[in-house]
A and B are shown apart, each in its own frame.
Chain A
Amino acid sequence: MDGLRMATAPLVEVDDLTVRFVTREATVHAVNGVSLTIRPGETLCILGESGSGKSVTLRALMRLLPPDRTFITGAIKVDGRDVLAMDRRALGEYRGGLASMIFQEPMTALDPVYTINQQISETIIRHNGGTKAQARARALELFDLVKIPSPERRLDAYPHELSGGLRQRAMIAMALSCGPRLLLADEPTTALDATVQIQVLILLRRLQKDLGMATIFVTHDLGVAAEIADRVAVMYAGRIVEEGSVAEVLANPQHPYTRGLLGSTVHGQPRDQDIKAIPGSPPDLRRLPSGCAFGPRCSQAMVACRTIVPEPRHPAPGRMARCLRVEA
């Protein structure tokens, strides 16, 4: 698999991305030097907790951050195109056409005053042209693709008339309507019930394989990452601290944070023992500690960790960890 990775050109290249939110009161360093490459057809899971910068990274890829107080440096290239340099017209074609996004809460992501058909057709016509009838036929195809029962009836429903799982499927259908090559998913199953979540995960996995899309999936749930990802990037305080194939990262984590995350995830621990929790809380992004951001909470911190921000180290091909204790 690694040889294959080297051969094909990357679809997404993020190079040293930094995102800062500047307000009168403080500057929030949300993303601090993130670099990623994603091959066509590959699924990358960005794993992190709140404040890790995972959602901000995703939104930067779609240029969805508020322009007046956001400062972005670095480079984002999707299919060779410079996303940060796109003007409004180019962005309009990019969003929904080349790259599409699905969100955590479909109730707020869908417009409540239009039917699903109207919203999907609008996207289709905007990107591909055609008549309303053609767009509706395409929408029906998509509903079949995402396995929505009674698709005719559901097309003409309003978002609030659908249940949570169906709404999420409708949003996926809308995102896929113009054949994007890149799908961005921001915790799309977090708000769903367990039995619905597994259905949507399996659906996404199947769709991604059948349509050959690259996917970036943001989640805080290790189980979800195990189910859906090819590769995993663990984020903490705006940096990627570990990266590798999902099997390797879950079986053999290199970074103390990843280890801590695995150890503290409740999954079959003996009932009479405390869970090995990571002490403390994530850092305040307005005032990042110097050196390694995880240092204050790390059981293996050394003196050097307080001053040096660890560079990415590669203990094995295809693996990366930002930790001074990891052999390069």
Chain B
Amino acid sequence: MGHPTLTHADDADPRDRGGTAQPLLIARDLRKHFQVKGGPASLFGAGRAAVRAVDGVSFTLFKGETLGIVGESGCGKSTLARLLLHLIVPDAGELIFDGDTVAAPDGITVRALRQQVQMVFQDSYSSLNPRMPVQDSVAFGPYVQGRSQAEARDIARDILVKVGLNPALFGPRYPHELSGGQKQRVNIARALAINPRMVILDEAVSALDKSIEAQVLNLLRQLKRSFNLTYVFISHDLNVVQYISDRVLVMYLGHVVELGPVDAIFERPLHPYTVALLGSRPSMDPAHRIDEPPLNGDPPSPINPPSGCRFRTRCAHAEAVCAETVPVLGAWLDCGSHVAACHIQTPGSGHSQATTQGMA
């Protein structure tokens, strides 16, 4: 399958290695556990609980696409975002950026990675330094990467224009004087000032009003075209993910449960969790309201998750095999593949509804 949004202009970027055939990022079996401070029992050497935030996540990111990552709280998507930039160091697994392994002796250093990959944070009150004028916040990145102060300032001014903010008017302002949408534009400008090839957007529009969200989404689309970017778009809002993504990755409790092109995921979801998630979206039509919630109860905590398939405690199709074996995501060949980590989808898994032939 082709890449609908991939442009040809990648050969103009001198940093590109391997062209469009080579994925921009390969994540292999990423793992990150956080130790929970043990209770009194831990004094006596009893096992400490761990938050298994990201527990074996693998995926491939192709150049020029937008990969949407969805999931609810506790699924690990924010931790995953930070792992991709090595803001949190993975316990296990590897990251391969454009053919080079990150933080390996013969690969790419984390510092060099951060010249090509940047992150836009959620517009919380703490995403911008309250004591710094906006243009200094934006200029900080280029300055740190080696430019002079004057050069960095010019870059900052230039980028501010590109995100739709008048630098003469907004540059000297402090974050508290800006609205949510303006602050988020500054966040985007800060990420782009370094001239990255890939941008991770961690709930970048979630805190904005709907009308401002629309503006920022339009801006993100336009910037992606102008700067030839690849996006990883993390959000809990399924509608936004459907609009902006080419492919979607669904996470649940530290695992990837489904991965595929956006239309396939939204129209023909394979994993029971994805089905439930999609069915939980409020209907926009008062005449056709949702009568029964697709799922009951809260997402369990990532501390000591269920054995086998982690979704089995809430799944209507759970059987004995689901508690014994962890379902595997399934082999996928290219960006058109649609796979799910579910025993029903795996032929010969032992589940009563498993197909006997392979999937297309």
Contacts and interface: CB of A to CB of B under 8 A. Distances in A.
Answer whether A and B touch in the complex at a CB cut-off of 8 Å.
yes
Interface of A: 49-50, 149, 163-166, 193-199, 201-202, 205, 220-224, 226-227, 229, 246-247, 250, 260-261, 264-269, 271, 274-279, 281-282
Contact of B211 (A49, A149, A193, A199): A49
A232 to B, nearest CB: 9
Interface stretch (B14-22, B76-84, B106-114, B276-284): B276-284
Contacts of A202: 290-293
Contacts of B290: 198, 202, 227
Contacts of A149: 297
Nearest to A267: B239
B210 to A, nearest CB: 5
B72 interface: yes
Contact of B217 (A196, A220, A266): A266
B180 interface: yes
A172 to B, nearest CB: 15
Contacts of B213: 264, 266
Contact of A220 (B210, B242, B298): B210
Given A198-B290, A266-B217, A266-B240, 13 more contacts: A49-B209, A194-B236, A194-B281, A222-B284, A223-B283, A226-B282, A226-B286, A265-B214, A274-B218, A275-B214, A275-B217, A277-B214, A282-B209
A93 B5 CA distance: 61
A69 B297 CA distance: 42
B211, B213, B289, B298, most chain A CB atoms within 10 A:
B211
8 closest Cβ pairs, A-B complex: A223-B282, A277-B214, A264-B214, A49-B209, A193-B72, A163-B298, A199-B293, A165-B298
A194 B72 contact: yes
Interface residues of B, number: 48
Contacts of B244: 271
Per DSSP, chain B at the interface is loop
A172 B295 CA distance: 20
Contact of B210 (A199, A265, A274): A265
Interface string B209-241: 111111101100110000000000000111110
B336 interface: no
A206 B218 CA distance: 38
A198 B298 contact: no
B277 A261 contact: no
Contacts of B356: none
Contacts of B305: none
B357 to A, nearest CB: 32
Contacts of A223: 281-284
A195 B291 contact: no
B282 A201 contact: yes
A199 B296 contact: yes
Contacts of A267: 239, 284
B217 A50 contact: no
A164 B238 contact: no
A285 to B, nearest CB: 12
Nearest to B245: A271
